A and B are shown apart, each in its own frame.
Chain A
Amino acid sequence: MATASPKSLYWKGVRTAAPFLLMVTPFGLLFGVVATEAGLSLAHTMGFSIVVIAGAAQFTALQLMTEQAPIIVILASALAVNLRMAMYSAALAPYLGPAPLWQRALIGYFNVDQTYAMSIMEYEAKPQLTVAARVAYFLGIATPICPVWYVMTYIGAVVGSTIPDAFALDFAVPITFLAIVAPAFKTLAHVAAAFTAIVLAVTLSWMPYNLWLLLAGLAGMIVGAEVERRVGRARVRPT
């Protein structure tokens, strides 16, 4: 086949990513709304979405800040939530490693769940793509996803302060996390990890400085990994 040009791959990425805006739009709005309700200024709220650009970690930091957790606990918890992205980086490296450093740095910044998942599928399906074409495809996907995240955060933050308490937005954060996690309960190991973490979080919640969160998270990880080692990645439900 003719080698696909970087330009055509870029636009293919843009088109592939468009449906995922249905996901990014409400999450961005919700972060803006909840951050403003929690008392963050518009600048701080935008700072999170532009500098960190990681929804789950941003919600984690926000929740712990409303609990007045120590800064070190906020950082450790939020970064632990992002550790999965080290796997994304390792998975992309064989495909994108030869690209110039500035391009890899740009990809690192935009290396979020959606851009990673869509790119790796394309790279695996089309091993003959040039490195330049792969970079173009990745940036094509990031083009609609990431700016929409910023803009929706902004709209949410501006609108958020006018939403009355009756909407019980205090509970939007737990519901959002449940919604993010529930589709991941694919295997016995995932369920065991979550169950262990929940039991420890509830029983250790007397501990100061939100230390229970780090201990429960660490124990959940270890149990998940151990269950996987023993029974493999057996599915608890059909996919």
Chain B
Amino acid sequence: MTGYSSAQIWMIIAAMGIGTFAIRFSFLGLLGNRQLPDWLLRHLRYTAVAILPAMIAPLVLWPNATGGEPDAPRLAAAAIALAVGIWAKNAIAAIFGGMITLYLLQYLLG
């Protein structure tokens, strides 16, 4: 890992650990048995489903491994993983589907 010193990486780990624990412990620990307002619950429901697709979209369209050029096997692999995940509702099946598609197309297209 270039660009970060070992101490900086430990700092990232520690800060993520503390922050994640604070989120998980929040209501169990300090805030107790109080209701979250509806508007806040409504936003929290969509955090992962917004952040994760936003992060992967550029990786799928402009992969690092091809120097940022769109790559047909990777686009197809992403499409298959998404389709399998939606239909089968099974994350592991989606990963296998996507990676096998990628290997197959890379082999066929040389």
Contacts from A to B (Cβ < 8 Å): 22-23, 26, 30, 38-41, 44, 47-48, 51-54, 56-57, 60-61, 63-66, 68, 71, 74-75, 77-90, 92-94, 96-97, 101, 104-105, 107-109, 111, 167-168, 170-185, 189-190, 193-194, 196-198, 200-202, 205, 212-213, 216-225, 228-229, 237
Is B81 a contact partner of A178 (Cβ separation < 8 A)?
A: yes
Give the docked Cα–Cα distance between A169 and B48 (Å).
23
Apart from A89-B24, A108-B28: 10 A-B pairs, beta carbons within 8 A:
A85-B23, A92-B28, A172-B99, A174-B60, A174-B63, A174-B74, A179-B85, A182-B85, A220-B51, A224-B49
Give the docked Cα–Cα distance between A207 and B105 (Å).
33
Name the one of B14, B55, B61 contacting A63, with C-beta atoms under 8 angstroms. Answer: B55
Name the one of B4, B12, B21, B82 contacting A75, with C-beta atoms under 8 angstroms. Answer: B12
Chain B 17-59 against A: per-residue CB contact (8 Å), 1 yes, 0 no?
Answer: 1011101111111011101100101111111111111111111
Interface size class of B (residues with CB under 8 A): 35 or more
Q: When A47-B13, A71-B12 are in contact, do A89 and B26 touch as well, CB less than 8 Å?
A: yes
Set of chain A residues within 8 Å of B41, measured between Cβ atoms: 87
Residue with the greatest number of chain A CB neighbours at <10 A, chosen from B8, B31, B56, B83: B56
Is A52 a contact partner of B16 (Cβ separation < 8 A)?
A: yes
Name the one of A74, A90, A220 contacting B12, with C-beta atoms under 8 angstroms. Answer: A74
Name the one of A26, A97, A111 contacting B24, with C-beta atoms under 8 angstroms. Answer: A111
The A-contacting residues of B in range 51-110, CB under 8 angstroms, are: 51-61, 63-65, 74, 77-78, 81-86, 89-92, 94-95, 98-99, 102-103, 106
- Does more than half of chain B's interface fall in helix, strand or loop, or is it mixed? helix
Is B92 a contact partner of A216 (Cβ separation < 8 A)?
A: no
Number of A-B contacts (CB under 8 A): 296
Is A175 a contact partner of B99 (Cβ separation < 8 A)?
A: yes
Is B27 a contact partner of A181 (Cβ separation < 8 A)?
A: no
Name the one of A30, A81, A173, A216 contacting B48, with C-beta atoms under 8 angstroms. Answer: A81
**CB-CB nearest in chain B for A88:** B24
Give the docked Cα–Cα distance between A174 and B54 (Å).
11
Is B50 a contact partner of A194 (Cβ separation < 8 A)?
A: yes
Give the docked Cα–Cα distance between A238 and B58 (Å).
30
Give the docked Cα–Cα distance between A52 and B12 (Å).
10
Is A224 a contact partner of B29 (Cβ separation < 8 A)?
A: no
Give the docked Cα–Cα distance between A104 and B39 (Å).
27
What 4 A-B pairs are tightest by C-beta distance, nearest first?
A: A182-B85, A220-B50, A224-B46, A108-B25
Set of chain B residues within 8 Å of A60, measured between Cβ atoms: 51-52, 55
Give the docked Cα–Cα distance between A5 and B80 (Å).
47
Name the one of A38, A39, A56, A212 contacting B52, with C-beta atoms under 8 angstroms. Answer: A56
Set of chain A residues within 8 Å of B48, measured between Cβ atoms: 56, 81, 84, 180-181, 184
Is B1 a contact partner of A194 (Cβ separation < 8 A)?
A: no
Is A107 a contact partner of B28 (Cβ separation < 8 A)?
A: yes
Q: When A48-B13, A85-B23, A179-B98 are in contact, do A170 and B49 touch as well, CB less than 8 Å?
A: no
Give the docked Cα–Cα distance between A104 and B33 (Å).
13
Give the docked Cα–Cα distance between A69 and B32 (Å).
36
Set of chain B residues within 8 Å of A90, measured between Cβ atoms: 26-27, 31, 35-36
Set of chain A residues within 8 Å of B44, measured between Cβ atoms: 83-84, 86-87
